[in-house]
Every structure is written in C-alpha cells, then in structure tokens.
Amino acid sequence: MTQAVFITLEGIEGVGKTSAVACVADWLRDHGRAVTVTREPGGTELGERVRALVLEHNDVPIAPLAELLLMFAARAQHLEQRIRPALARGESVVCDRFTDATYAYQGGGRGLPLRHIDSAAELVHGDLWPTLTVLLDASPEVGLSRARARSAADRFESEKLQFFERVRAAYLERASREARRFAVIDASQDMAKVHADIRALLAARLP
Ligand code: TMP
C-alpha cells in the first residue's frame, strides 16, 4: 500500500494557499491515494469556533500568549479528531497551515519566545511533523494586495506590512533550517506556473 503522507501548505495571506491545497489533493488522488483535506485553525467544530474567535474583528482582547494557546488548543483537537485518525486509516492529509504558522505568526509576527512554541509543539504533537511543507513565498506587498482585493481584511490581515515582513522572514528562516522537510515555491508567479512547480515537487519528493 502507498504510504500515507502529511502535507502542509504555508505562507502569508494572498499567496494562493487555497488553490494550492486543491492542487496537492488532486495530484495525490490522481496518484491513487485517499486524501483528507483540512485547515488550521479549523478542521473540527472546536477549531472552527477558535478560528472565528481569532480571525473576526470583535471586542474580545486576545493577548499574544492566549492567541498562541488557542492555536494549539484547536490543533490538539484537530490532531485527535481528524489528522491522526486519517493517517491511521492510511489516508494522506493535506492541511492548510500547521505549527509552522504558529512559529511564523505568533513567533515572528507577535514576537513570542520560540521556546514557548517549542514546548507547546512538543506537548501537542511530539514527533508528528509533516512529511512535506510547501512554503508559498511572496512579498507582503504582493500577498496583501491580492488578499485585500478578495475580501475585507480579517484580524490578522489588518496588521501592518512590517508584521507580515516578520512573518515571512520567520517562515524563510524555518525553511532554510529544515530544508529536507520544506520546499519554497515562488508564489509571485502566475497560478498555472505555481501549480506546475507544486506538481513537479510532489513527483520528486514523495515516496
Ligand atoms: P488563512 O489560513 O485563511 O489565511 O487564515 C488563518 C489565519 O490564522 C492567518 O492569518 C494566519 C493565522 N494563524 C496563526 O496566526 N497561527 C497559527 O498557528 C495558524 C494555524 C494560523
């Protein structure tokens, strides 16, 4: 039987993650794999409620450390309810964001100490890391102008350009430290080229 793989897609807003997730899932299905597609924060009832809480503009103040723990609370539920069961059934999992987003946004963006994220990641998923993480990379100018043309800005999208510069730098730093797990794709190219790069990457990297 083909080995189940866990693939995550990462990047700042407006880099085309949603269509890239569909591209990865289609490729896996075309190659005979059963696939679960999901996202973070989200993927479960609890996760979707956390998503609404942290993304919507509301009057609820959220301290950076509380934001970090909410992301991990949603993730703990997601792992228990969706990700681990799917992998145990032999299904591949394609997830729109995972713990690398926490390092990028709560670490890089909010400036929380990385050791706190290390501890929470160890507690919540231990050694379970993605087989492959595709980082769609583009400048915040490119990403945010696309995201803002698409819909009204959510709580994160309302952050300043410098916030996204820190998020992007944190992603690139993780990708260079963990080059075996990550692949960086230039998301400023047109969508057809980005998807062609993704398919070539999957063909080269997957067992
Ligand atoms: P999106 O995936 O639809 O772009 O929205 C999710 C938002 O949540 C995005 O702004 C990044 C943010 N986020 C974090 O800040 N930390 C996390 O751990 C995750 C998974 C997402």
User: Ligand 1 site: residues with CB under 6 angstroms?
Assistant: 13, 40-41, 55, 71, 96-97, 101-102, 105-106, 156
Domain count, the chain: 1
Query: Does a structural domain hold residue 190?
Result: yes
Query: Does a structural domain hold residue 1?
Result: no
Query: Does a structural domain hold residue 143?
Result: yes
CA dihedral of residues 143, 205, 75, 37 (deg, nearest 10): 80
**Distance from Cα 23 to the centre of ligand 1, integer Å:** 20
Query: Does a structural domain hold residue 58?
Result: yes
Atom of ligand 1 nearest to the CA of 154: 10
Residue 59 has pLDDT above 90, yes or no: no
pLDDT for 138: 98
Give me the mean pLDDT over the 118-141 stretch. Answer: 98
**Distance from Cα 28 to the centre of ligand 1, integer Å:** 24
CATH number of the domain bearing residue 71: 3.40.50.300
Range of the domain at 149: 6-205
Exposed, middle or buried, 30 (CB in 10 Å: 0-12/13-18/19+)?
Answer: exposed
pLDDT for 90: 98
Q: Pull the structure tokens for residue 188.
A: 């400023």
pLDDT for 1: 61
**Distance from Cα 21 to the centre of ligand 1, integer Å:** 15
**Distance from Cα 41 to the centre of ligand 1, integer Å:** 6
Please report which confidence band the pLDDT of residue 207 belongs to, taking 50, 70 and 90 as the band edges: confident
CA dihedral of residues 102, 29, 199, 82 (deg, nearest 10): 0
Q: Are 74 and 50 in contact (CB under 8 A)?
A: yes
**Can you give the pTM of this predicted structure?**
0.97
Ligand 1, atom 6: closest residue by C-alpha: 41
Query: Does a structural domain hold residue 42?
Result: yes
Q: Are 36 and 82 in contact (CB under 8 A)?
A: yes
